[in-house]
Amino acid sequence: MRLVLVVLAMLLVPGGSPAPGKAFTIADVGTATGLVPGGTVTRKVRVTNPNNQDIKVTRLDTSVGRPSPNCPANAVTVDPLKSPVLVARNSHADVPLAVRMAASAPNACKNLTFPLTYSGTAIKP
């Protein structure tokens, strides 16, 4: 199974309002293979901080799209971020996420590419 997509996410300042121009990116690193009904694989995503200040990513969420008419999007789930991740200024961090395929998923879901959309939130540390 290959997983795809890149997303921009907002940096939130302590008051909760968006800080203009302080976005970060989230992108897949490599591919995840071997996911079968009832299985779990580890997927890495790269969080890139293009800003001149450190950020602490407090939330990473993944939305899973439908890969084919014979396989529902809800056959796969991606666990949210387990703990905050510090990303140094003008740097990146690779973050592992658990990807799970439901035991009830049809065999038609094996070896498909599930489109993934990432979003996240970061604060100034």
| Distance of alpha carbon 62 from the chain centroid | 5
The pLDDT tens digits for 70-120 are: 999 899 999 999 899 999 999 999 999 999 999 999 999 988 888 888 888
Residue 73: strand, helix, or coil: helix
Residue 78: strand, helix, or coil: strand
**Rounded distance, CA 80 to CA 73, Å?**
17
The pLDDT tens digits for 9-44 are: 444 445 545 544 468 999 888 776 778 899 998 889
pTM (predicted TM-score): 0.78
As given in the structure block, the two tokens for residue 103 are 């035991």
As given in the structure block, the two tokens for residue 1 are 């199974």
